[in-house]
Structure 1
Amino acid sequence: MRKRKTFVLSLLLVLVIGLLSACGSSGEPANNGTDAAASDAASTAAAADANAAKETAAPVQEETKKEEPQEPVKVKVGVTGSDGETWPLLKKKAAERNIEIELVEFSDYTLPNLALANKEVDINSFQHLAFLSQFNIEHNLNIVPIGSTVVAPLGLYSEKYKKVEDIPEGAKIAIPNDPANQGRGLLVLQQAGLIKLKENVGLYGTPDDIVENTRKIEIVPVVAQQTPRVLKDVAGSIINGGIAGQAGLQLSDAIFHDDPQAESTRPYINVFATRAEDKDNETYRTIAKLYQEADVIETVKKDTNGASFVTDVPVEQLQSTLDQLIADIKAGAAK
Structure 2
Amino acid sequence: MKRMIPLVSALALMAGAATAADIKVGVSPGEHAEIMEEVAKIAEPMGLNIDVVEFSDYVVPNQALADGDIEANSFQHEPYLDNQIRDRGFALVPIATTITTPMGVYSDKITAMDDFPEGGSMGIPNDPTNGGRALLVLQQLGLIKLAEGTGLVPTVLDVVENPRDMRFRELDAAQLPRSLADLDAALINTNYAIASGLNPKEDSIAMESADNPYVNIIVVREGDEGQDWVQPLIDAYHSPEIKAFIEDKYHGTVLTSW
Shorter chain as normaliser: what TM range? Answer: 0.7 to 0.9
Counterpart AA for 2:226: D
CA distance in 2, matches of 1:76, 1:173: 37
CA distance in 1, matches of 2:248, 2:182: 28
Which residue of structure 2 aligns with residue 97 of structure 1? 46
Aligned residue runs from structure 1 range 36-47, under 5 A = none
CA deviations 1:277-296 (Å, max 9, x no partner) are 00122312321221122221
Which residue of structure 2 aligns with residue 128 of structure 1? 77
Matched, 1:73 2:49: no
Of structures 1 and 2, the one scoring higher in RCO (CA 8 A, sep 6+) is 2
Instruction: Describe the shift of the 1:292–1:81 C-alpha distance in structure 2 as closer, same or farther (beyond 3 A).
Output: same
Instruction: Describe the shift of the 1:85–1:113 C-alpha distance in structure 2 as closer, same or farther (beyond 3 A).
Output: closer
CA deviations 1:211-241 (Å, max 9, x no partner) are 1212111111111122222222211110122
Report the count of equivalent residues: 238
TM, length-normalised to structure 2? 0.86
Q: Secondary structure at the match of 1:175?
A: strand
Q: Secondary structure at the match of 2:93?
A: strand
- Single out whichever of 133-142 and 155-164 deviates more from structure 2: 155-164
Q: 2:242 aligns with which of 296, 300, 305?
A: 296
The structure where strand makes up a greater share of residues is 2
Question: Whose radius of gyration is greater, 1 or 2?
Answer: 1
Is the 8 Å Cα contact of residues 77 and 103 (structure 1) preserved in structure 2? Answer: yes
Instruction: Describe the shift of the 1:269–1:252 C-alpha distance in structure 2 as closer, same or farther (beyond 3 A).
Output: same
CA distance in 1, matches of 2:109, 2:248: 26
Structure 1 position 245, deviation (Å): 2.6
Structure 1 position 85, deviation (Å): 4.8
Which residue of structure 1 aligns with residue 219 of structure 2? 273
Aligned residue runs from structure 1 range 134-145, under 5 A = 134-145=83-94
Q: 1:253 aligns with which of 203, 207, 213?
A: 203
Aligned residue runs from structure 1 range 143-158, under 5 A = 143-158=92-107
Q: 1:107 aligns with which of 56, 69, 72?
A: 56
Structure 2 unaligned regions, length at least 5 = 1-18
Structure 1 position 72, deviation (Å): 7.1
Counterpart AA for 1:119: G
Structure 1 unaligned regions, length at least 5 = 1-70, 313-335
List 4+ stretches of structure 1 deviating above 6 A: none
CA deviations 1:238-271 (Å, max 9, x no partner) are 01222223333123432222221x2xx12x1100
Is the 8 Å Cα contact of residues 146 and 285 (structure 1) preserved in structure 2? Answer: no
Structure 1 position 305, deviation (Å): 5.0
Percent identity, please: 35
Q: Secondary structure at the match of 2:96?
A: strand
CA distance in 1, matches of 2:20, 2:86: 35
Counterpart AA for 2:224: D
